[in-house]
Amino acid sequence: MEASDVLEAIGDLVAQIKVYSSKLPAVVHLSVMPGGLKPTPEAVEAYEKTVSRFRQQVGASAYRPLNDLFIESLEAFESGRVLKAVQPLLQSLDHLELMQREKTMTVTLAEEGRLKEYRRTLNRILPGNQPELEGAGRGL
């Protein structure tokens, strides 16, 4: 398995989460929807296929530790917990960057750009990604 294959799988998962999160309202009151909003069965199936395809390809390679993170993300996605689906994917990006620093994985400049873009996309989904006041956190 090549780094590009891993990045393709992560990219597919990030895209699924991005599409799902874009359809969510800014605030969902639990009294109205106690179970939250779950993704469509088709979206869950697509997410599951990506995870399954990755698990079949990874074998005993250095990318094997990502299996558990992808499954954790899938389980959260299935239940409609988008924030809990994002965290394992961010951890998988951390793992890939560690592999890159340790020279157990080599990536091209384009692949490195993809890693950064996936991280930006996932971070934008998380709450608190935009300060409410312009200039917040800059001091006086």
133 domain-assigned: no
State the residue range of the domain holding 119: 3-24+37-125
Any domain includes 60: yes
Domain membership of residue 130 (yes or no) is: no
pLDDT at res. 49:
94
Provide the strand spans (E) within the chain. none
pTM here?
0.79
Give domain status of residue 61, yes or no: yes
Quote the pLDDT of residue 59: 75
pLDDT score, position 133: 44
Q: What's the pLDDT at 130?
A: 52
- 54-93: b (≥16 Cβ within 10 Å) or e: beeebeeebbeebeebbbbbbebbbebebeebbbbbbbbb
- Reported as a single tens digit per residue, the pLDDT across 9-30 is 999 999 998 988 887 766 554 4
Instruction: Choose among 91, 68, 89, 94: nearest CA to 20.
Output: 89
How many C-alpha atoms does 129 have within 13 Å on its Cβ side? 10
pLDDT computed for residue 51 by the predictor: 92
Q: Which residues of the chain have pLDDT under 50?
A: 29-34, 131-140
The domain tally of the chain equals 1
Residue 104: what pLDDT? 83
In Å, how far from its chain's centre is CA 42? 18
The helix/strand/coil state of 9 is: helix
Residue 107 in domain: yes
Q: Does 18 map to a domain?
A: yes
